Chains A and B, each alone.
Chain A
């Protein structure tokens, strides 16, 4: 059984590595969106420093959300998803592996890109460090919650807008804890509270989200 999961991981990662246009455009979107804010509100360093963590986090959140439609869509269209439902592994585990592969190829690049963008906002080293950690813990949560939305809206017309409507409310805690931990550090407090809460969210979603996603996929493929 772990054999099957290994092959699934290999396949999903290979597919992204060979068709990397989607991931690259998502990363460009991340960069461009962050750059819009100074253009909109002016380049006053103090203000940029204040809004920096929030802007980077919101941009990361939006980039993640926009590319989530991709998670199951291709498999749904070409019939691979059906076959996955019929394979001997429990669907919950297969889903967990798919989301992990997705995070490796889309979430992790975001985590590495974020400190670079943070520097554009004049964030100090300590803040950049906390922001990277918060995104490292937060992007898997975003992917897991987003996967529930992606599974619910599979093949539905107007899917991507509906996806946003469904999961943005659910993203609020992640955003608050993630950006909040950086803001805390910027204000001289400890980031421990926010980071621990993020870690707790990660544990909760890793345990429960794949189950929900598997249920939604079965519903979508009936």
Chain B
């Protein structure tokens, strides 16, 4: 299949994708750095101080984008897992595997920044807010995926088992989120939610948008770099592939 003159199926082979991944990753890393600087500048220097929450609210510029990324990456990961299972494509499984640690990191970042945001408001390092609790469970799902993949020695079985788990988790995420919200209303009457973000001035929205784009570019860069390492690892083991190349 040709798109813009490129035969994209060629890139389904790990060794072919390796150099392309490197090029894309480099551009994304540069973009990420630039966007991050712009976003943080907006967040810390341009956005006005909120009269209710003081300076502490600025952490939402990290907390909210990180939470969005954690969920987006899980969906993308599950998507690649589905593609891998449907098409039996090694590279798709490797992509899912490469995304997982970054997703877990953003989830952890969202949790930590959530705690830092909550402390001045609630006086406690942790509140059982529906969103934070769901993020915590999402972190467990990421860790489960990584642990399952690490525990199985046969690479093909590890790929496929972890992919099934990612899909099962993806289907469950809405159920988990809904159940946690239900739980919140059940136990506290009115729902407790983490300090509401202050009414959004335009500049705040720009700041958040820049941070989301920065995190997105960062994720792509890091995931592709990790993918390159996985490709090198796996393909080097396959000595018979070199035999096949000689035969061809």
Contacts and interface: CB of A to CB of B under 8 A. Distances in A.
Interface of A: 148, 152-153, 156-159, 162, 165-166, 168-170, 172-173, 176-177, 180, 183-184, 193, 197, 201, 208, 212, 215-216, 219-220, 222
A180 B172 CA distance: 19
A169 B151 contact: no
Given A152-B161, A216-B161, A220-B157, A173 B179 contact: yes
B188 to A, nearest CB: 12
Interface string B132-171: 0000010011011001100110001100110011001101
A173 B161 contact: no
B212 interface: no
Interface in B58-87: none
A184 B157 CA distance: 44
Chain B interface residue bracket vs A: 20 to 34
A203 B89 CA distance: 33
Contacts of A166: 144, 147-148, 165
B186 A184 contact: yes
Given A173-B175, A219-B157, A180 B169 contact: no
Interface of B: 137, 140-141, 143-144, 147-148, 151-152, 156-157, 160-161, 164-165, 168-169, 171-172, 175-176, 178-180, 182-183, 186-187
Nearest to B146: A165
8 contacts: A162-B151, A165-B144, A170-B169, A172-B176, A173-B178, A197-B179, A216-B164, A219-B160
A157 B152 CA distance: 8
Query: 4 tightest CB-CB pairs across the interface, nearest first?
Result: A173-B179, A169-B140, A176-B179, A166-B144
B179 A172 contact: yes
